[in-house]
Amino acid sequence: MEDDDECPPLAVELSPEKPYSPPPLGPSAASPVGVTVITGYLGAGKSTLVNYILSAQHGKRIAVILNEFGEEIGVERAMINEGQGGALVEEWVELANGCVCCTVKHSLVQALEQLVQRKERMDHILLETTGLADPAPLVSILWLDDQLESSIKLDSIITVIDAKNFRLQIDEHNKSSSFPEAFHQIAFADVVILNKIDLVEGSLEDLERQIHEVNALVTVVQSVRCQVDLNKIFDQQAYGAKNSSQLQELLEYSKSVPPNLRHDNSISTLCICEQDPISLSKVESWLEDLLWERKLDMDIYRCKGILHVHNSDQVHTLQAVREVYEVLPAREWSKTESRTNKIVVIGRNLDINILQDSFSRCKH
């Protein structure tokens, strides 16, 4: 039986038979709460995943925010600053397994602010993004909103994919060079849940290969009815320094896909390496030309990397989603590390020669 994403999560129909006792707050209680954004097309299984989180006895206190804001998200902070009234956030519903749930009609920021002010600390926050295919507006709020910065942190973006439908899209793509819609959301993802694998005949290796050809950085988790180990999808720290040491492996993996196997207009992963130290101001100008002005005529979805900055003993991490980017010092270089610049770029119409040459001009 296939999932029906038109059915809302059954948040208020759960009976409190097994009350959940949250663990005592430890020394890390003041650390920011991780936020995971979940995307996926209608019917992929997003609501099934949300229902699982809201009902399973997984021992985690997770807040699920179901939104109805769609494309209005870009103006919500202005609405709050102007003091417009009205019930923007519906009542939080306490669930039997210790999770909470609410529906947001207008203001995601207000919902998050209410959540972090609650007496009971949550282990994680999940944002379900109905009607918002491009997660970049959410990322900009989670990165740039001053009132939220110390309370929450963006942990990862999850895309749920219908494995059977994805295979049909790939078959159509191979026959006619049509562009699979799922490729867009794979490009943004840190984790892909390949759902409904029980409906697919044969090996899933080709599907995972297609996913990694689009996004070499992504982790793929297979599932039936989105019943997954939450430890595999939460606490990814995809926007922190945790995964910077894995970049070399990812760079080598994406290099293994010959460019001639890709269509010119397909979404792909390319790598930039530069040994010499760079100027931070030049890199920021390069990013603004690439992401804001699009002077290089490429459609960039994601960037992720580590930077060797001139006159700095700190590893700087680079993260970008669409036009929103962040470069921050993460930690000191270790004595055994080779100080170098490594950047992974995910996008459409990418040209490795232009990217490499333009980035090389950022050298100090």
Sequential DSSP letters for 43-84: TSSHHHHHHHHHHS--S--EEEEEE--GGGGGGHHHHHHTT-
270 with 309, same domain?
Answer: yes
Looking at residue 195, what is its pLDDT? 95
Count of the separate structural domains present in the chain: 2
Q: Please check whether residue 43 lies inside any domain of the structure.
A: yes
As separate numbers, helices (DSSP H) first and strands (DSSP E) second, the chain gives 10, 13
**Closest by CA position to 71, among listed 131, 136, 142, 8:** 131
209 with 308, same domain?
Answer: no
Q: Please check whether residue 16 lies inside any domain of the structure.
A: no
What is the amino acid identity at position 312?
S
DSSP summary character for residue 119: S
What Å distances lie between residue 291 and 77, 135, 187, 341, CA to CA? 23, 15, 15, 19
276 with 218, same domain?
Answer: no
48 with 181, same domain?
Answer: yes
Q: Please check whether residue 260 lies inside any domain of the structure.
A: no
298 with 167, same domain?
Answer: no
CB-based contacts of 238, cutoff 8 Å, min separation 6: 154, 155, 156, 157, 190
- Count the helix, strand and coil residues of the chain and give each as a percent rounded to the nearest 5: 35, 25, 40
* CATH number of the domain residue 312 falls in: 3.30.1220.10
What is the amino acid identity at position 14?
L
Task: List residues bridging with 306 in a β-sheet.
Answer: 317, 342
> CA 155 to CA 315: how far, in whole Å?
20
Q: Please check whether residue 12 lies inside any domain of the structure.
A: no
Burial class (CB in 10 A: 0-12, 13-18, 19+), 340: middle
Q: Please check whether residue 11 lies inside any domain of the structure.
A: no
Q: What is the mean pLDDT of residues 8-36?
A: 50
Q: Inform me whether the pLDDT recorded for 60 exceeds 60.
A: yes
Q: What is the pLDDT of residues 240-256, one digit of tens each?
A: 665 555 555 555 555 55
**Closest by CA position to 247, among listed 271, 213, 280:** 271
Q: Please check whether residue 8 lies inside any domain of the structure.
A: no
189 with 249, same domain?
Answer: no
Looking at residue 249, what is its pLDDT? 55
Tokens of 153: 């942190």
> CA 220 to CA 212: how far, in whole Å?
9
Q: What is the pLDDT of residues 67-88, one digit of tens each?
A: 654 444 333 333 222 223 333 3
Q: Please check whether residue 7 lies inside any domain of the structure.
A: no
248 with 218, same domain?
Answer: no
272 with 310, same domain?
Answer: yes
Q: Inform me whether the pLDDT recorded for 134 exceeds 70.
A: no
Provide the percentage of residues in the chain whose pLDDT is more than 70: 69
Q: Inform me whether the pLDDT recorded for 197 exceeds 90.
A: yes
DSSP summary character for residue 359: H
165 with 62, same domain?
Answer: yes
Looking at residue 314, what is its pLDDT? 93
Looking at residue 94, what is its pLDDT? 67
125 with 214, same domain?
Answer: yes
Q: Which domain holds residue 295?
A: 242-253+265-359
Q: Please check whether residue 145 lies inside any domain of the structure.
A: yes
Residue 129 C-beta-side C-alpha neighbours within 13 Å: 24
- pTM for the full model? 0.75
186 with 324, same domain?
Answer: no
> CA 283 to CA 306: how far, in whole Å?
12
DSSP summary character for residue 128: E
165 with 290, same domain?
Answer: no
- Mean pLDDT (the chain) is 75
Q: What is the pLDDT of residues 266-296, one digit of tens each?
A: 788 888 889 999 999 999 999 999 999 888 8
Q: What is the pLDDT of residues 93-131, one digit of tens each?
A: 666 776 777 766 556 777 787 777 776 778 888 888 765
Q: Show the DSSP H helices in 189-316 as ranges.
A: 205-214, 247-255, 280-287
What Å distances lie between residue 332 and 142, 210, 238, CA to CA? 26, 36, 19
* CATH number of the domain residue 148 falls in: 3.40.50.300
What Å distances lie between residue 64 and 74, 144, 185, CA to CA? 21, 21, 20
